[in-house]
Structure 1
Amino acid sequence: MEKGDIIAIFGREPSLSLWELDRILNVPEFRLLSRELAIFPSNGKVNEVDLQKRAGGLIKIGRVQGEAESLEQLEVLLEKSWPDLIPAGSTARVNFGASAYDAGLGPDRKFRQELGRQMQRLKKYLTTNGRSARLVESKEPTLQAGALVQGKILKQGFEILVLRTPEKIFWGTTETVQDIAQYGFRDFGRPSRDSLSGMLPPKVAQILINLAKAKTGEFLLDPFCGSGTILQEAVLIGIRKVCGSDISQKAVADSKKNLEWLKKNYPDLKDCSMEIFESDIKNLLEKIKPASADVVVTEPYLGPPQKGRAIAGNIAPLVSALSRQYVLWLEILAKLLRPTGRIAMVWPYFRLENHGYFLQIQESLNQIGLKIIAPPPALLNLPWFKSTPRGTLLYSRPDQVVGREIVLLAKNV
């Protein structure tokens, strides 16, 4: 590792976060990969702020500052370096904290306890040298985005990232943090939300768009647009031509209202082309020219809500019916897609009594002219990287019966 290398800290779904990062940057070489983070060279091409805004799966981004043989040596380095870590011109109280990452070695309680004591000594050192200081601590080994924002750490101080590897201890500083207030604003601040039909989180919408490698000049289609979350996140990361449709009149009205709200709150979006109309997907070929969509990003109908205790006997016929429906939808999407186009979409899967029920449509993909794009072998071969046998990734909460299978498709040409 070298000074200036990028440190990308993953969210709660590390496999999905890493795949998204790889699709955004096409990183030729990762210097370090673990369940918690990735480190890779910047080569002067990575802007942390832009990457943080775009990547839904990264909670923090930092840079490597140096290395140490031990925590004792790290303490000496920090005592020398702290004036350079504080925002330029700041005379306010120094708010700071530290996060420890084990880089695949497994947790080391003694190491983390000693790091905590070291941070206490650094606080004392700062106050002895005439600076008011506040140490922001957590019961967890790492500080989360909320703690950094609420503690004003990046505005008035610094966060130290300590990376323990088999050879050495590397340390860095956090440069940006996920803007959880903005995500909340774009989710809960919109005028129209429909929790009954299911809500795709803005972060997941971002991840889907990035997996599809949507580019600024491309045409993005969401044929199940719901309340417009995917369209919203697409234009925010620079896609200037988007189109959404839905069979529900209410969903179309919600999307239009939400995108008008978005343009008022984000003035830079006024030059975007955003078309939304009511249509069953079966009729889309009458409204959209075949082979015209560069990217399709969508979350279709996932089936009826599974409230209470779902019964296995009911799930099997539901999966069979949904599989047939999705095949019909994919046939239409394949005709709308350009030869070089990509589809990033959600398929439902069901978890019941430690058993997973998945859509049975893989054999139909060849006939439709589509193929699944799996993560590259370099990621699939990581011992902690979780994917399905067919090269898709899963996203769900532990208590959910209906989960999301994240699927990336391309034309089979």
Structure 2
Amino acid sequence: MKSICILGRQPALGLAELESLYGTETVSLVAPNVAALELEAKDINFPRLGGSTRLARVLAEIPGSDWKSVEKYLAKTVPEHLQYVPEGKLQLGLSAFGFDISPAKLTATGLTLKKIIRAAGRSVRLVPNNELELNTAQVLHNHLTGKTGWELLLVRQKDTTILAQTYAVQDIDSYTLRDRGRPKRDARVGMLPPKLAQIIINLATSDTNPLYGSIVLDPFCGTGVVLQEATWMGFDVYGSDLDPRMVQYTDENLMWFLEQPGCPVEDIRASQPPDWRYFSLEEGDATTHQWSPRPNIVACETYLGRTYTAQPERGNLSQNITDVNTILTKFLRNVHPQLAPGSRLCLAVPAWQTKPNTFRHLPLVDQISDLGYNRVEFERVRNDELIYYRSDQIVARQLLVLTRK
């Protein structure tokens, strides 16, 4: 292995995302929330990933998986690596995965390393551990991925321990801006997190898809989160919605997005007329609409049906499931002839949590082949794991990854 990714709150989604983009042979699970990749960290497009919180380059595999062996190895090798760290005050952090130790023990190890580093003539500051894993904000705001930053990740395996150095971390400030900073939001139509939107797009693509020039269609565009994130990745985007108000909201949000620092289309805009748009939007019913030009990729959160704050009566839920299933079946039949064979789709459809970790699914999930699609099977993740939800949520999002026959 050459690098590792620390996966997010629902590791299966992040693992499937990595497999979709980089291939089965490149990706493996080495700990419950840690994926290994046979790629150098610099060759991974980390800002594109929604399901990984950190990217690190592997430095070594330490013989032994007990903490004493780890401490002994670090005490010996840390001084040897100081020569590769630029001059200046070193920012040091430690995160441990899979070890049965306390945060206080991890901090004590860090203090030992701090003494060793100072004895070698370097100034150093240790970021203290409240948990075994430093959180994203600690890594970001303590500059642990900067030139003099040094977050060491220690991942316990059966007989060895992976030692890695954090290379990149999710930009939580950027995510907050792209979520809460948008001018138009509407809780009534759902609040799709940008990270989940990224995962949906990445599951709808693969390493064989061309990036630039590919058109991502969201036929249930809502307030435009999927289209925004697809634009961030460099895709051309095309959206439609039955509700004209949502089309207007998406238009305002995408034009706002164009003004944000780092937006990949801001340089293109300089050479275009004032009324130029980098996206196509139109009002349309997804069950009957004809899209032109033909999209390459479909990525969307579909109609989710009624919202629930408490468990509904069985008859109420059954009728809701029937209504949603009818709409989405009509959509899949409508879009089918408008896609080229082999076109890929990722649809976030509703699943209903009736008991903790127990879900009712749409009937169409078992009828995908009859509708003219194949369901993509992942090697590292089961399809029934591709559900985004929280423990107190009734309406979850099940991710269906399909190809058009």
The alignment's TM-score, normalised by the length of structure 2, stands at 0.88
* Structure 1 residue 68 displacement after superposition: 3.0
Deviation digits for residues 337-369 of structure 1 (CA, Å, limit 9, x no counterpart) = 111211111110111234421101135433321
Instruction: Output aligned runs, 1:328-339, within 5 Å.
Output: 328-339=330-341
What SS does the aligned partner of 1:47 have? helix
What SS does the aligned partner of 2:114 have? helix
Deviation digits for residues 373-393 of structure 1 (CA, Å, limit 9, x no counterpart) = 1212xx14xxxxx542xxx61
What SS does the aligned partner of 2:155 have? strand
Aligned to 1:73: 73
Let me know the Cα RMSD of the aligned residues: 2.2
Q: 1:251 to 1:40 in 2, by over 3 A?
A: same
- The answer on whether the counterparts of 1:293 and 1:337 sit within 8 Å (CA) in structure 2 is yes
Aligned to 2:273: none
Q: Which amino acid aligns with 1:35?
A: P
Aligned to 2:362: 359
Q: Which amino acid aligns with 1:184?
A: T
For residue 341 of structure 1, the aligned residue among 340, 343, 351 is 343
What SS does the aligned partner of 1:293 have? coil
Aligned to 1:288: 292
- The answer on whether the counterparts of 1:350 and 1:357 sit within 8 Å (CA) in structure 2 is yes
Q: Which amino acid aligns with 1:67?
A: E
- Alpha-carbon distance in structure 1 between the residues aligned to 2:24 and 2:212: 20
For residue 304 of structure 1, the aligned residue among 297, 303, 306 is 306
For residue 101 of structure 2, the aligned residue among 109, 115, 119 is 109
What SS does the aligned partner of 1:282 have? coil
- The answer on whether the counterparts of 1:220 and 1:297 sit within 8 Å (CA) in structure 2 is yes
Q: Which amino acid aligns with 1:372?
A: R
- The answer on whether the counterparts of 2:242 and 2:284 sit within 8 Å (CA) in structure 1 is yes
- The answer on whether the counterparts of 1:68 and 1:74 sit within 8 Å (CA) in structure 2 is no
**Matching of residue 189 in structure 1 with residue 181 in structure 2:** yes
Q: Which amino acid aligns with 1:278?
A: E
* Structure 1 residue 150 displacement after superposition: 2.1
What SS does the aligned partner of 2:118 have? helix
* Structure 1 residue 216 displacement after superposition: 2.0
What SS does the aligned partner of 1:331 have? helix
**Matching of residue 251 in structure 1 with residue 255 in structure 2:** no
Aligned to 2:281: 276
* Structure 1 residue 402 displacement after superposition: 0.4
- The answer on whether the counterparts of 1:294 and 1:340 sit within 8 Å (CA) in structure 2 is no
Instruction: Output aligned runs, 1:10-21, within 5 Å.
Output: 10-21=7-18
* Structure 1 residue 133 displacement after superposition: 2.5
- The answer on whether the counterparts of 2:107 and 2:129 sit within 8 Å (CA) in structure 1 is no
Q: 1:24 to 1:363 in 2, by over 3 A?
A: closer
Q: 1:25 to 1:363 in 2, by over 3 A?
A: closer
Gaps of at least 5 residues in structure 2 are 64-68, 269-276
**Matching of residue 400 in structure 1 with residue 402 in structure 2:** no
**Matching of residue 202 in structure 1 with residue 201 in structure 2:** no
Aligned residue pairs total: 383
- The answer on whether the counterparts of 2:346 and 2:399 sit within 8 Å (CA) in structure 1 is yes
The alignment's TM-score, normalised by the length of structure 1, stands at 0.86
- The answer on whether the counterparts of 2:234 and 2:264 sit within 8 Å (CA) in structure 1 is no
Gaps of at least 5 residues in structure 1 are 381-385
- Alpha-carbon distance in structure 2 between the residues aligned to 1:128 and 1:331: 70
- Alpha-carbon distance in structure 2 between the residues aligned to 1:68 and 1:367: 51
* Structure 1 residue 41 displacement after superposition: 2.2
Instruction: Output aligned runs, 1:5-404, within 5 Å.
Output: 5-30=2-27, 33-42=30-39, 47=42, 51-69=45-63, 70-71=69-70, 72-84=72-84, 86=85, 88-89=86-87, 91=88, 93-102=89-98, 107-109=99-101, 114-155=105-146, 156-213=148-205, 215-239=211-235, 241-265=236-260, 266=262, 268-270=264-266, 271=268, 273-285=278-290, 287-288=291-292, 292-354=294-356, 355-376=358-379, 379-380=380-381, 387-388=383-384, 393-404=386-397
- The answer on whether the counterparts of 1:79 and 1:122 sit within 8 Å (CA) in structure 2 is no
- The answer on whether the counterparts of 1:294 and 1:341 sit within 8 Å (CA) in structure 2 is yes
Q: Which amino acid aligns with 1:358?
A: H
- The answer on whether the counterparts of 2:220 and 2:301 sit within 8 Å (CA) in structure 1 is yes
- The answer on whether the counterparts of 2:350 and 2:396 sit within 8 Å (CA) in structure 1 is yes
Q: Which amino acid aligns with 1:368?
A: L
- Alpha-carbon distance in structure 1 between the residues aligned to 2:115 and 2:183: 49
